Amino acid sequence: MNTFFTNARLIDPEAQTETTGSLLVQGGVITHIFAQDAHDSAAIGDAEVVDCAGACLAPGIVDWGVKVSEPGERHKESFRSAGRAAAAGGVTTIVTRPDTAPAIDTPEILEFVARRASADAPVRVLPMAALTKGRAGREMTEIGFLMDAGAVAFTDCDQVCTDNKVLSRALTYARSLGALVVMHPQEPVLSKGAAVTSGKFASLRGLPGVSPMAERMGLDRDVALLEMTGARMHVDQITTARALPALERAKNNGFDITAGVGIHHLTLNEFDVADYRTFFKVKPPLRSEEDRLAVIQAVASGLIDVVCSMHTPQDEESKRLPFEEAASGAVALETLLPAALRLVHNGHLTLAQLFRALSLNPSKRLGLDTGRLNVGAPADLVLFDPDAPFVMDRFKLQSKSKNTPFDGARMQGRVKGTWVGGTCVTA
């Protein structure tokens, strides 16, 4: 079906522009972009007309680092429920993590995941595979075979490999194949057992904390291995001001490195766990307000390339525990966009800057042709009203798990429609 979007506020993250105009989709790709009141009736033909009524039309979000709990914990999240949540949140591509049970560390498990995703999810699903077998850090996986099976990157997620010899061999082998490796910057001994970021607040609450330096130390180690091996590396979460100079030096030195940050570290801080609210327990833990503002500035400047949800579903039994014992993580596929729009409403980012981090940069790093509002690009689009207010109700989320820290929060920004390859995937 051909679709003509008219009266739209077009957000182009590549040109860094916001313009009023129209857009024509034919055969699943963008074929024409018209300035306001300048469309060609002959080109439009019998296309279905979508009057955007001044709402924003942007490239669909490419969410890098989503956990779908298949195989092993389907009661927390399935590809069907995650796909519906993604569509409701304006996410057109989810890049999934391999921290499942069992880990996605063989071509057979990866092929199972790909089949389930293709059958059940209305959005695009790109799986990452484990870097080491069982994410145990002892023996690297068959990276070449996993790439052939469809893995777009390799990571052990938050299970940091402590054996530098194993890791250096894996990075060297990945480099020889052109594979992208995703690292979690954290010194594992310092961070073991931590529930919050260390400091006065952690002491007042009697909770075990981890110093922000643990992230800096982990990043320094990873950058040193990157320099030694020449691999391609993406750092999944930079959440502290202390880590930013090390990231900047690595980029200035010409290393092939990019970095991301989860939405919760951009919009929440350590004081949000004041009442021992376990829905605010994430990994790494929420940071100070100074760290939050520094990381926002790094996103605005482009030092941090990617903003993602780090969607981590946990059931009620895993969260309704004392803070130290509760599982880490929060669902965020549906809350990613309205939460990120807080940064726009507060004047930290423009919409074009935001979608550069949400759509364009993850697409470029993964070698995808999505994330752009150009003629010839796939018609993966999100239509949203950035100013529409609402109160978040976690029980209305499409995810099976409801562990969002934004429950009851006043938010702005509603998705009005999501299109994947020109097909509307929202209910």
Here the CATH number for the domain that contains residue 314 is 3.20.20.140
User: Quick check: is 371 in a domain?
Assistant: no
CA distance 100 to 79: 13
DSSP 371: S
Kindly tell me if the per-residue pLDDT of 39 is higher than 70. no
Q: What pLDDT was estimated at residue 105? A: 97
Per-residue pLDDT tens over the stretch 130-163: 999 999 999 999 999 999 999 999 999 999 999 9
Average pLDDT over residues 15-21: 95
User: Quick check: is 231 in a domain?
Assistant: yes
Average pLDDT over the chain reads 96
Q: 323: domain range?
A: 60-365
CA distance 371 to 349: 18
Among residues 295, 326, 292, 329, the alpha carbon closest in space to that of 311 is found at 329
User: Quick check: is 383 in a domain?
Assistant: no
Among residues 242, 244, 222, the alpha carbon closest in space to that of 233 is found at 222
Q: What pLDDT was estimated at residue 275? A: 86
User: Quick check: is 307 in a domain?
Assistant: yes
**Two tokens at 324?**
């130290």
Q: Where are the beta strands (DSSP E) in 288-420?
A: 306-308, 381-391, 410-420
Tally of domains within the chain: 1
Taking the model in full, what pTM does it have?
A: 0.95
User: Quick check: is 403 in a domain?
Assistant: no
CA distance 251 to 33: 35
Decide: helix, strand or coil at residue 114. Answer: helix
User: Quick check: is 387 in a domain?
Assistant: no
How many other β-carbons are positioned within 10 Å of the β-carbon of residue 53? 12
Among residues 152, 97, 61, the alpha carbon closest in space to that of 425 is found at 61
User: Quick check: is 401 in a domain?
Assistant: no
User: Quick check: is 116 in a domain?
Assistant: yes
